[in-house]
Amino acid sequence: MIFQSDNSAAACPEVLAAVTAAAPATAAGYDADDHSRQLDGVFSAVFGRACTVLTVGTGTAANALALAALVPPYGAIVCHEDAHIHVDECGAPEFFTGGAKLMLVPGAHGKLTPAGIEAALASHRGDVHQVQVRALSITQSTETGTVYTVEELAALGAHARARGWRVHLDGARFANAVAHLGCHPGDASWRAGVDILSFGAIKNGGLSAEAMVIFDPALVEDIRLRRKRAGQMPSKGRFNAAQLLAMLEGGVWLRNAAAANAGAARLAAVAGPDAGVRLLHPVEANEVFLALAPGQPEALRALGYGFYDWGAAGSNEARFVVAWDTPAAAVTALAEAIAATSG
Amino acid sequence: MIFQSDNSAAACPEVLAAVTAAAPATAAGYDADDHSRQLDGVFSAVFGRACTVLTVGTGTAANALALAALVPPYGAIVCHEDAHIHVDECGAPEFFTGGAKLMLVPGAHGKLTPAGIEAALASHRGDVHQVQVRALSITQSTETGTVYTVEELAALGAHARARGWRVHLDGARFANAVAHLGCHPGDASWRAGVDILSFGAIKNGGLSAEAMVIFDPALVEDIRLRRKRAGQMPSKGRFNAAQLLAMLEGGVWLRNAAAANAGAARLAAVAGPDAGVRLLHPVEANEVFLALAPGQPEALRALGYGFYDWGAAGSNEARFVVAWDTPAAAVTALAEAIAATSG
Amino acid sequence: MIFQSDNSAAACPEVLAAVTAAAPATAAGYDADDHSRQLDGVFSAVFGRACTVLTVGTGTAANALALAALVPPYGAIVCHEDAHIHVDECGAPEFFTGGAKLMLVPGAHGKLTPAGIEAALASHRGDVHQVQVRALSITQSTETGTVYTVEELAALGAHARARGWRVHLDGARFANAVAHLGCHPGDASWRAGVDILSFGAIKNGGLSAEAMVIFDPALVEDIRLRRKRAGQMPSKGRFNAAQLLAMLEGGVWLRNAAAANAGAARLAAVAGPDAGVRLLHPVEANEVFLALAPGQPEALRALGYGFYDWGAAGSNEARFVVAWDTPAAAVTALAEAIAATSG
Amino acid sequence: MIFQSDNSAAACPEVLAAVTAAAPATAAGYDADDHSRQLDGVFSAVFGRACTVLTVGTGTAANALALAALVPPYGAIVCHEDAHIHVDECGAPEFFTGGAKLMLVPGAHGKLTPAGIEAALASHRGDVHQVQVRALSITQSTETGTVYTVEELAALGAHARARGWRVHLDGARFANAVAHLGCHPGDASWRAGVDILSFGAIKNGGLSAEAMVIFDPALVEDIRLRRKRAGQMPSKGRFNAAQLLAMLEGGVWLRNAAAANAGAARLAAVAGPDAGVRLLHPVEANEVFLALAPGQPEALRALGYGFYDWGAAGSNEARFVVAWDTPAAAVTALAEAIAATSG
C-alpha cells in the first residue's frame, strides 16, 4: 500500500543475485575489479556509442557531479522549475558546482520547450555582472510523469547546442521513458545532444547504485576526481557495478520499467476521469498525479494508502507512484479506493 | 549625460578631503588605525544603537558576506526576484555562502510583502530534501526606485522573525530611502528587525568603500574572518574608514541622497505622464523607470544620453538614474529630450 | 594474493544475509524504514551512550561530513601528516567544509601527541589573518597500523577540549583498534571526547555502507542536511542500515577485526625481524609495513603478490594488509615469500 | 616608529594626485572609464608583452583569484611553507578555488628550489585518490625579504612548465625585487613562465588598489567573472586604475621600492652583525629579520618601536619593515636602539 515512491520498492531478483555472487570473492578495490571493468563496454553496446560509466550512490550525486563537470562556479544551468535538482536535492547542485545558479523555467506538465526557455531568459543579459548560462538539464521522464518525445528532446538538445550549452539528462526514471517511447536508448540521450546521463537504477529494482553515463570523453577525468572528492567512489566498487550490469543484462531495466508503467496506466484508467477524478498530467511513465476532492487525501490515508501530497499545501493534489513490483491487486484496490472516496 | 548609474558620479568633496588628509600619515594597518576605530562609535550614534562597522570594497561584497554569516550552505534566502543579489552579482551570494539558494518572490514595484512571500513558499516543504529558509534579504530603496515605508519594513521584519529567519538589508541606496522617508535610520534598519545592513556609500558620493553595519554582536567575529578570507580586509583600512566617516559627518550622506532624489523627482515630473511617457514605477528615490516608445531609446542615445535598457529585450523600457552631482540643467535637458522624442 | 587493502575482501556472510533478507520487501524510503530506525538504539547500546547513526557510502564521505559539521569554512583541523583525510581523499575535507585547512602534525608511527601538536602550532598565531583551529581529527587505528591506547586517546581528547576544539575520529579501522585494545567501544570514542566517529564497516566485511556515529545531539540536524546535499542519503536506506546492524549483531565486527589482526600479527612474526626484514611500525591492527630490500618488491610482485608501495618513491617500503577473510595459508605463503626474497 | 609593515606607510603624492584628479569627474562605471582602459596598454609597455590588468582591493584577492583561475577545486598548488597564501590569508586560496590544497615546501630563506619541490612531493602519487598538482606559486620578494635571481625564477618556471603546472607570482613586494635585481620586469615575470602576477602597489605607496597582471589571454574571461563574483570589481573602477597608472608613470613604483630597499639595507648594516645582532636572512628587499636577545623585543617596544614577532612564540625573532616613506632618521634611530639594547 506504499505509493509514495518507487524508492520503496524491492530490489529485483537479478540485482540481488548479482550482489550475492560478487559477495564472497576477493577483488581489486576502487573500480579495478572485473565487474567495474565491464561497465563501459556493456553500456556502450546498449547505447550504441562509446561511453564511460561511473557508479555513484544516489541520483542526487549523479546529477550534481554531472552539473559540476559541465559548468563553472559562475555558471548557470537552465532547468524546469519543478526539477528534482532544484526542489529535492537540498542544494546539491549548488554545493557540487561551487555555487552555480539554476535558472528556472516554467512549462506545462513538467516539460521544457525552446520557446519557454527563451521567454524565461529574455531579460538575462549574460554580461559580467551575471551568471553565465552554460548547461541545460532535462528530466526524462519528467517530475510529473510525462515523457519527452524523441523529437522534443532533439529540439531541446539542438537549442542548447546552438547556444553553446552542455546538456545533462536527469534519468532517475530514464528506463520508464525509454519503455514508454519504445525508442533506442541512444535516441533519448546522446543522439539528442546529451553529454551526461544520470541513469537511474535504484527506483527501478536496484539496491544501492546509480550510474553516470558520460558520452563526452573529455569530461571523464574531471568527473573521476570530483567523484572521489565527493566520497562517491566506492572502495568495493564491484557491488555497485554488479547491480548495474544485472540491470542491463537481458533488458531487466526495460522489463521492470514497463511493468511499472503498465501499473500506472491502469491506475490512471480506472481511478481517473472515469471515476470522476481529474488527472493533473498525462500518465506516460509510472506516476499518476490526481486532483483529489477535499477530504479525500485523509480518507485514503485512513484506508492505509501512502502517497505524497503535491503542489501547494491544501491543494488536495496527490502523487501516486507505481513501482516495478507493485502487485496488480494493489493497483486495483487503490483505484477502487480512489473511486469510492471521490464523491 | 550619463544616466546609466549613480556609479558614474563623482566622489564628493568631503570624501576626497578625508582621503587627502589621511594620505600622508603613517598609521597602523588592518583596521587598527584611528579612523577605523571611530567607525563603530559614529555609526552607533547615527543609528541609535550599538553596532559594529566593517568596510568592504563593493556592495556585492557587503551583501554576500552578510548572507554568508546568516545562512548555512544548505540554507535559503528569500528575496525579490529583481534583487541585485540575484540578478547582478554574478552569483556572489552562492559563492560566499557555499552554495545557498535564493528563493525568488515576485512583487509589484520591486517590493516584497509577507503575503507574497507566503505564496511563493507555499509548496516549499522545508524537509531534509530541501534547502532550509533561514534569511530574508530586503532591498531599500528597491531595484525599481521605490521605497518601503517604515511600516512595510517592520511588517517584513516581523514576518521573518516569526519564522526564525535572519534579516539582511541591501542598502546600496539606503541613504536615498532614508532621505525620502525622513525617518530615523534606526527605523529603517534594526528597529525593523535588520541584523546586517549593507550601507551604500560609493553611489552616493563615495570613492571606493562600502560598509557593513552589524547590529547583532554575535555575528561580528564570523564576519571579520570571512571578510579577511574574501580579500575584503583592506591593509590600509584608514582610507576606507575615512570615506565612511566623511559621509556621516554633518549628514553628507543624506544631503547627497536628497539631491539625487530631488533630481529624479523633477525628471519624473517633467518627462513622465505630463509628457506622455508612462512611469513604470513610482519615483521615490533617485531612479526613474520609463516605458519609452518604439525607437525612442535609439533616438535618445543618438542625442548622447546614456542609460540602461530594462526588462526584456525589445521592451523599450529604460532606467535613468540621477546622482548626487547630476547638474539640474542636465536633468532638464534629458526631460526635454524625452518629451521631444516621445511621439 | 591480494594484500593491497582490506577493501579487496569479501562481504561477510552475515552482511550478505541481511541484505538478502531486506531485498524483497517494500519499505519506506529515506531512513524511514524499520532497519534504519533501529540504528540509533543498537549503536547506543554497544557504545554505552545515546548517539545518532547516519549511514553513508564511503569512509571519505563520513570523514568529510563530520569535519564540515565541526569547523567553519575558515576553520582548521589538526591531523597527522599521514592522515587519510589529507593524503587519500582528493581534498574531500576541503570540499565539504567549504575550504577549511588541515594543519599537519608529524608523529612517530602515525600517532599524534599533545606535545607534537603544540610544537606544530607554535608559530600559528590564530589572529584574523589566519585560519581558526577548531577541530582535531584522530585516526584509530592509525595509517601505519598502530593503535592509540585508551590513555593516549583520552589525553588527545582532553588537549583538544582544553583549547575549545571539537574531536573527530576516523575509524575506518576502528574495529581493529577495539579488538586490539580489548576495551569498551565507548572508551575509544566518546569517553575520550570524540564528537563524531567515522565507523568503518566496508573494509571489515561490509558491502557498501559506513556509519557516522554522532555523540553530540546538537550536530545531528546539520549533518542530516549536509548528508542529503552531498548525495549521501540513500533512497533505499534499509540496505545500508541492514549491513550495519548485521555487523554489530553478535559482535561480528569484532570477530572479523580480530581475525584480520591475528593474521597481521602472524605475518609480522614470521616475515619480520626473524626473517631479516625490518618492521617499520609496531603491528597492532591488520597492517604490516616492511622495509623491503632493493629488488624485493619486484620479486614479490613477480610471485603474484599485490601490495602498495609506501613512503617516497624508490624507498622499497611496502604495506601489506590482512583482511577479515584472508586465508591463513595465504598469510603463511606471503611470509615465506618475503623471507625467501629478503636477502 | 612603525616598522610593523609597509602597510602603515603613507600613500605617495603621485597616487593621491591621481585620485584627486579623478574624483570630480563623471565617468562610466565598471572599468569602462578612461583610466581603466589605459591599464592594459601601460602595463604591456612596462612588461614588454601584451597583458591584461584587472584591479582588486587587496593582495589576498589578487592571489586567490589567480589561483582559482589556475587550478580546479581538486587541484593543488605548490608553495613555500612560509607563503603568505598559506600563512596569512585566512584560507582565501581554499575559499576562492573551491577547496584546492596548498602543498607546502620548506626552503632556506623563504625560497623554493626545484630540488626542494621534488623532495616535498616525493611521496605524492597523484592518482585519483589525491589532489592534482596544477600550479606553482612563487613569492617575489619572499616572505623573508630575500629576492630570487632571474636565473632562480627561470629555473622554477621551467620546472613547473615541465610538469604541466601553471605559475603564479605573488608580487606583493614585486617592485622591491625588481628594484633590487635591476632587471627588466618581464625577466622577473612572464619570461620566467609566470601566467599571472599579483602586482603589489598598496605597500609601495598605493592607497587601496592592487593589480592582477595576466599574461595568458585565455585566462582573462574566467578571472573577470570570478572577480565580479568575489565582490572585487569596483563600481567606480577609475579610482583603482588611477592609482596603478600613477604608480607606473615615470617609474614611481621603482623609485618608492628603491627607497625602501635602501633603508632596509642601511638598517641591516648598522643594526646587524656589526652591532652584535644576527641577521636571520639576507636583506635584499625592504625587510630585516633579526634574532634579538632575550628581553630585547620588550626593550625596543618600551622605546616606542612597533614590529612583529616572527617565528615560534618565545623565539625573540623579529621583523622590521622599512617603507618607501620611512624617514632616514627613523631608520638610524631604530638601528641605534637595536644596538643599544642588544646586550
Q: What distance in Å separates the CA atoms of residue C55 and residue C39, rounded to the nearest whole number?
A: 9
C-alpha cell at D175: 617592485
Asked if residue B131 lies in contact with residue B94, where contact means CB atoms within 8 angstroms, the answer is no
Q: Which of D74, D97, D311 sits opposite C123 (nearest CB)?
A: D311
Same domain, C243 and C277: no
For residue D275, pLDDT over 80 is answered with no
Residues of D in contact with C120 (CB under 8 A): none
Q: What distance in Å separates the CA atoms of residue B302 and residue B181, rounded to the nearest whole number?
A: 37
Same domain, C180 and C46: yes
Q: Which residue spans within chain A are E strands per DSSP?
A: 52-56, 75-80, 101-105, 132-139, 166-171, 196-199, 210-214, 278-279, 287-291, 308-310, 317-321
Q: Which of D73, D90, D129 sits opposite C129 (nearest CB)?
A: D90
The residue with greater pLDDT, B44 or D311, is B44
Note the pLDDT of residue B57.
98
Cβ-defined contact of C313 to D122 (cutoff 8 Å): yes
What H or E segment, with its residue span, contains residue D198? strand D196-199
Same domain, D212 and D310: no
Same domain, B181 and B65: yes
Angle in degrees, 0-180, between the axes of helices C59-70 and C220-229, rounded to the nearest 10: 130
Looking at the structure of chain A, the number of domains it has is 2
Cβ-defined contact of B91 to A99 (cutoff 8 Å): yes
Interface check D95 vs C, CB under 8 A: yes
Same domain, D100 and D238: yes
Note the pLDDT of residue A314.
86
pLDDT tens figures, D94-125: 999 999 999 999 999 999 999 999 999 999 99
Same domain, D100 and D69: yes
Interface check B32 vs C, CB under 8 A: no
pLDDT tens figures, D27-76: 999 999 999 999 999 999 999 999 999 999 999 999 999 999 999 999 99
Cβ-defined contact of A99 to B95 (cutoff 8 Å): yes
Same domain, D117 and D236: yes
Cβ-defined contact of D131 to C100 (cutoff 8 Å): no
Cβ-defined contact of C228 to B73 (cutoff 8 Å): no
| pLDDT confidence band for A1 (50 / 70 / 90) | confident
User: What is the DSSP code (8-state) at residue C258?
Assistant: H
In a domain, D6, yes or no: no
Q: What distance in Å separates the CA atoms of residue B334 and residue B327, rounded to the nearest whole number?
A: 11
Note the pLDDT of residue D216.
98
- Give the contacts of B142 (CB within 8 A, at least 6 positions apart): B80, B82, B109, B110, B111, B148
For residue A342, pLDDT over 80 is answered with yes
What average pLDDT does range A286-314 have in this prediction? 94
D159 residue type, one letter: H
Name chain D's partners: 3 or more CB pairs within 8 A: A, B, C
The SS3 of residue B175 is helix
Name chain C's partners: 3 or more CB pairs within 8 A: A, B, D
Interface check B129 vs A, CB under 8 A: yes
Give start and end residues of each alpha helix (H) in chain D: 13-22, 34-47, 59-70, 84-87, 92-97, 114-120, 150-162, 174-181, 220-229, 237-248, 252-271, 296-302, 328-340
What H or E segment, with its residue span, contains residue B133? strand B132-139
Cβ-defined contact of C23 to A16 (cutoff 8 Å): yes
Backbone angles phi, psi at A102, to 5 degrees: -90, 130
Cβ-defined contact of D74 to A224 (cutoff 8 Å): no
Cβ-defined contact of A74 to B87 (cutoff 8 Å): no
Same domain, D119 and D187: yes
Domain with residue D304: its CATH number is: 3.90.1150.10
D287-291 and D278-279 strand pairing:
antiparallel
C-alpha cell at C26: 517494500
Same domain, A168 and A90: yes
CA distance D163 to chain B (A): 30
In a domain, B7, yes or no: no
User: What is the DSSP code (8-state) at residue C274?
Assistant: G
In a domain, B2, yes or no: no
| Residue in the block written with cell 509628457 | B275
Same domain, B243 and B202: yes
Q: HSE-up of A94 (CA within 13 Å, CB side)?
A: 33
Q: Which of B252, B282, B308 is the last residue of a domain?
A: B252
Interface check D26 vs B, CB under 8 A: yes
Q: Which of B207, B231, B252 is the last residue of a domain?
A: B252
Q: Which of A91, A97, A131 sits opposite B90 (nearest CB)?
A: A131
For residues B25, B213, B223, A64, the Cα torsion angle rounded to the nearest 10 degrees is -130
| Residue in the block written with cell 574608514 | B241
Residues of D in contact with B90 (CB under 8 A): 225, 228-229
In a domain, A2, yes or no: no
Note the pLDDT of residue D311.
83
Q: Which residue spans within chain C are E strands per DSSP?
A: 52-56, 75-80, 101-105, 132-139, 166-171, 196-199, 210-214, 278-279, 287-291, 308-310, 317-321
Residues of C in contact with D130 (CB under 8 A): 87-88, 90
Residues of D in contact with A128 (CB under 8 A): 30, 224-225, 228, 233
Q: What distance in Å separates the CA atoms of residue B75 and residue C221, rounded to the nearest whole number?
A: 13
For residue C1, pLDDT over 80 is answered with no
| pLDDT confidence band for C2 (50 / 70 / 90) | confident
Q: Which residues of chain B carry a pLDDT beneath 70?
A: none
For residue C105, pLDDT over 90 is answered with yes
Q: Which of C74, C129, C225 sits opposite B74 (nearest CB)?
A: C225
Residues of D in contact with C143 (CB under 8 A): none
- Give the contacts of B200 (CB within 8 A, at least 6 positions apart): B59, B171, B172, B173, B174, B175, B210
For residue D273, pLDDT over 90 is answered with no
In a domain, B138, yes or no: yes
Domain with residue A100: its CATH number is: 3.40.640.10
| Residue-range definition of the domain harbouring residue A74 | 12-251
In a domain, A276, yes or no: yes
C-alpha cell at B26: 603613517
For residue D222, pLDDT over 90 is answered with yes
Q: For the sheet containing D278-279, what is the strand order?
A: D278-279, D287-291, D317-321, D308-310
Cβ-defined contact of D226 to A73 (cutoff 8 Å): yes
Q: HSE-up of D81 (CA within 13 Å, CB side)?
A: 15
Residues of C in contact with D88 (CB under 8 A): 129-130
Cβ-defined contact of D228 to A30 (cutoff 8 Å): no
Q: Which of C72, C74, C228 sits opposite B128 (nearest CB)?
A: C228
Note the pLDDT of residue B274.
73
Q: Which of A205, A229, A251 is the last residue of a domain?
A: A251
Nearest Cα neighbor of B57 from D97, D237, D197 is D237
Interface check A7 vs B, CB under 8 A: no
In a domain, C3, yes or no: no
CA distance D90 to chain B (A): 5
Interface check B287 vs A, CB under 8 A: no
Q: Which of residues 142-181 of D touch B (CB under 8 A)?
A: none
Same domain, B207 and B65: yes
Residues of C in contact with D123 (CB under 8 A): 311-313
Q: What distance in Å separates the CA atoms of residue A76 and residue B90, rounded to the nearest whole number?
A: 10
Cβ-defined contact of C128 to B222 (cutoff 8 Å): no
Q: What is this model's ipTM?
A: 0.97
Please report, for residues A79, A279, B1, B140, D234, the alpha-carbon distance to residue B257 in angstroms, rounded to integers and kept in the order given.
Answer: 41, 56, 19, 13, 21
What average pLDDT does chain D have? 96
Residues of A in contact with B128 (CB under 8 A): 90
For residue C100, pLDDT over 90 is answered with yes
pLDDT tens figures, A14-28: 999 999 999 998 999
Q: What distance in Å separates the CA atoms of residue D128 and residue D130, rounded to the nearest whole number?
A: 5
Out of A182-196, A281-295, B271-285, D245-259, pick the least confident: B271-285
Q: What distance in Å separates the CA atoms of residue D122 and residue D124, rounded to the nearest whole number?
A: 6
Interface check C17 vs A, CB under 8 A: no
Name chain A's partners: 3 or more CB pairs within 8 A: B, C, D
Q: Which of residues 254-283 of B touch C (CB under 8 A)?
A: none
Cβ-defined contact of A99 to B94 (cutoff 8 Å): yes
Nearest-by-CA chain C residue for A6: C29
Please report, for residues B279, B300, D252, the alpha-carbon distance to residue B290 in angstroms, rounded to integers and kept in the order given.
Answer: 5, 13, 48
Same domain, D267 and D244: no
Cβ-defined contact of B224 to C128 (cutoff 8 Å): yes
pLDDT tens figures, C147-170: 999 999 999 999 999 999 999 999
In a domain, D1, yes or no: no
Residues of C in contact with B233 (CB under 8 A): 128
What average pLDDT does chain A have? 96
